[in-house]
Amino acid sequence: MGKVALFIVDVQGDFLPPDGSLQVPAGLLVPPAIISLLRDHKYHWDYIVVSQDYHPPGHISFASSHPGHKVYSDVELKDGRGILYEQKLWPDHCIQGTKGCEIEPELAAKLAKRGDIVKLVRKGWHKDVEAYSAFDGYMSDFNNPAVPPTELDLQPQRKIVQWLREQGVTKVVVTGLAAEHCVAHTALSAVASRFQTAVLQPATRAIEDRDAEEQWDKLCAVGARVIGRSNRPRTL
Residue 90's nearest CA partner among 68, 67, 64, 122 is 64
List the single partner that 14 binds among Zn ion, ligand VGL, none, CB under 5 to 8 Å by kind: none
List the single partner that 178 binds among ligand VGL, Zn ion, none, CB under 5 to 8 Å by kind: ligand VGL
**Contact, 178 vs 15, CB < 8 A?**
yes
List the single partner that 6 binds among Zn ion, ligand VGL, none, CB under 5 to 8 Å by kind: none
Residue 184's nearest CA partner among 157, 209, 159 is 209
Residue 223 has what DSSP assignment? T
Q: In the complex, what is the shortest distance from the CB of residue 53 to Zn ion, in angstroms, rounded to a whole number?
A: 4
List the single partner that 199 binds among Zn ion, ligand VGL, none, CB under 5 to 8 Å by kind: none
Identity of the residue, 124 or 176, whose beta carbon is nearer to Zn ion in the bound complex: 124
Q: How many residues sit close enough to Zn ion to count as binding (CB under 5 A)?
A: 2
Residues 190-219 vs Zn ion: string with x where CB under 5 A?
Answer: ------------------------------
Residue 142's nearest CA partner among 2, 3, 11, 4 is 11
Q: Output phi, psi for 134, to 5 deg.
A: -60, -25
Contact between 14 and Zn ion by CB under 5 A: the answer reads: no
Which residues are near ligand VGL by CB under 6 A? 10, 53, 90, 177-178, 181-182
The span from the CA of 95 to the CA of 109, in Å, is 21
Q: In the complex, what is the shortest distance from the CB of residue 187 to ligand VGL, in angstroms, rounded to a whole number?
A: 12
Q: Output phi, psi for 193, to 5 deg.
A: -90, 15
Contact between 53 and Zn ion by CB under 5 A: the answer reads: yes
CB count in 10 Å sphere of residue 4 = 18
Contact between 104 and Zn ion by CB under 5 A: the answer reads: no
Provide the binding-site residues for Zn ion, judged by CB under 5 A: 53, 124
